[in-house]
Structure 1
Amino acid sequence: MIKDRQPGEIQPGFKWGPFTARIPFIHLRLSLTDLLQGFAVSGATGLALVPYFTMLLGLSFEEAVVMALIHSTLIAFSWMLFGDPYAPGWLTPAIPFVVAFITAPAFVGDHVAQFQAMTALSLNFALILIVLGLTGLGAKLIKSVPNVLKGGIILGAAIAAFMRVTKDGDAANVFQSAPIAGTLGVTVCLLFAFSKPLTAVAMRYKGLATLLSLGLLPGFLIAGIVGFFTGELDFNIRWEILDVGAAASGLWAKASPFAIGWPPMDVFIASFPLALITYILFFGDVVTGNEMIEQAQKVRTDEKLDVNTSRAHLATGLRNALMGFTAPFFSTQGVLWTGIQVVLLKRWTQAKDTQTSLFDSIGSFYILGLPVLFILLPLVTLVEPLLPVALAVTLILTAFACATLALSLVDDATERGAMVITAMAFSLFEPWAGLLIGLFTIAALCGPSVFLPQRKAS
Structure 2
Amino acid sequence: MKSTQEKRHELPYAGGPLKLRIPFIHYRLEYQDFIQGAILSCIPLGITAAMVKVLGIPLEIAVLMVVINNFFYLLHTSFGDPSISGWITAGIPLYISFLTGFDPGPERIQALIALQVLVGLIFLVFGLTGITRWIIKHFPVSMRSGILLGAGFASLMRVFDPGQPFIGKMPVAFSVAALTSFFILFSSRALKFRARSNLFTWVAGFGIAPGFIIGYCVGLLTGEIAPPSGVFDRIIIDAPFGEMLSSFSVMNVGMPSAGQWMAALSLAIVAYVLAFGDILVLETMIEDCNEARKDESIVFEVRRNHIITAIRNGVQGLFLPFLPLCGPQWTGGQALVVNRYKHSTPDQEPSYWGGATSIFWGMSLAMVFHPLVQIILPGKLIGFGLTLLIQGYLCIYLALTLCNTNVQRGIAGIMAAALVSANYTKLWGSAFWSGPTMALIVGAVLFFVLEYEKKEKKGISQAALSD
Q: Same fold (TM over 0.5)?
A: yes
**Aligned partner (choices 126, 132, 139) of residue 132 of structure 1:** 126
1:157 aligns with 2:144: no
Bigger Rg, structure 1 or 2: 2
Q: Secondary structure at the match of 1:177?
A: coil
Partner of 1:38: 37
**Aligned partner (choices 274, 281, 291) of residue 284 of structure 1:** 274
- Confirm or deny: 8 A CA contact 1:115 1:329 kept in the other structure: no
Instruction: Please give the TM-score of this superposition, normalised by the length of structure 1.
Output: 0.79
Shift in Å at residue 118 of structure 1?
4.1
**Alignment length (residue pairs):** 436
Partner of 1:72: 70
1:252 aligns with 2:245: yes
- Map 1:53-452 → 2, pairs under 5 A: 53-54=51-52, 59-81=57-79, 83-91=81-89, 93-94=91-92, 97=95, 100-101=98-99, 104-105=102-103, 108-109=104-105, 111=106, 114-171=108-165, 173=166, 175-238=167-230, 239-241=232-234, 247-258=240-251, 260=252, 262-263=254-255, 267-291=257-281, 293-294=283-284, 297=287, 301-302=291-292, 306-341=299-334, 351=343, 353=345, 359=353, 361-367=355-361, 371-429=364-422, 430-449=435-454
Structure 1: which amino acid aligns with 2:68? I
Flag the 1:432–1:14 CA change in 2: closer, same or farther, 3 A. farther
Instruction: Please give the TM-score of this superposition, normalised by the length of structure 2.
Output: 0.78
Q: Secondary structure at the match of 2:226?
A: coil
Query: RMSD across aligned C-alpha pairs, in angstroms?
Result: 3.8
Shift in Å at residue 83 of structure 1?
0.7
Q: Secondary structure at the match of 2:178?
A: helix
Flag the 1:292–1:62 CA change in 2: closer, same or farther, 3 A. closer
Q: Distance in 2 between matches of 1:153 and 1:307?
A: 26
Q: Secondary structure at the match of 1:203?
A: helix
- Confirm or deny: 8 A CA contact 1:138 1:313 kept in the other structure: no
Structure 1, unaligned runs of 5 or more: 453-458
Q: Distance in 2 between matches of 1:390 and 1:414?
A: 37
- Confirm or deny: 8 A CA contact 1:320 1:333 kept in the other structure: yes
- Confirm or deny: 8 A CA contact 2:83 2:305 kept in the other structure: no
Partner of 2:46: 48
Structure 1: which amino acid aligns with 2:246? A
- Confirm or deny: 8 A CA contact 1:126 1:318 kept in the other structure: yes
Q: Distance in 2 between matches of 1:412 and 1:96?
A: 27
Q: Distance in 1 between matches of 2:288 and 2:51?
A: 43
Deviation per residue, 1:384-427 (Å, 9 max, x gap)? 12212212222232233333333333444443444444444444
Structure 2: which amino acid aligns with 1:447? Y
Q: Secondary structure at the match of 2:291?
A: coil
Flag the 1:38–1:186 CA change in 2: closer, same or farther, 3 A. farther
Q: Distance in 1 between matches of 2:327 and 2:108?
A: 21
- Name which of structure 1's ranges 190-199 and 138-147 shifts more when overlaid on structure 2: 138-147
Structure 1: which amino acid aligns with 2:149? L
Structure 2: which amino acid aligns with 1:393? L
Q: Distance in 2 between matches of 1:146 and 1:13?
A: 39
Structure 2: which amino acid aligns with 1:334? G
- Confirm or deny: 8 A CA contact 1:186 1:393 kept in the other structure: yes
Structure 2, unaligned runs of 5 or more: 423-434, 458-467
Shift in Å at residue 79 of structure 1?
3.6
Structure 2: which amino acid aligns with 1:280? V
Flag the 1:37–1:448 CA change in 2: closer, same or farther, 3 A. farther
Q: Distance in 1 between matches of 2:351 and 2:456?
A: 36
Structure 2: which amino acid aligns with 1:161? S
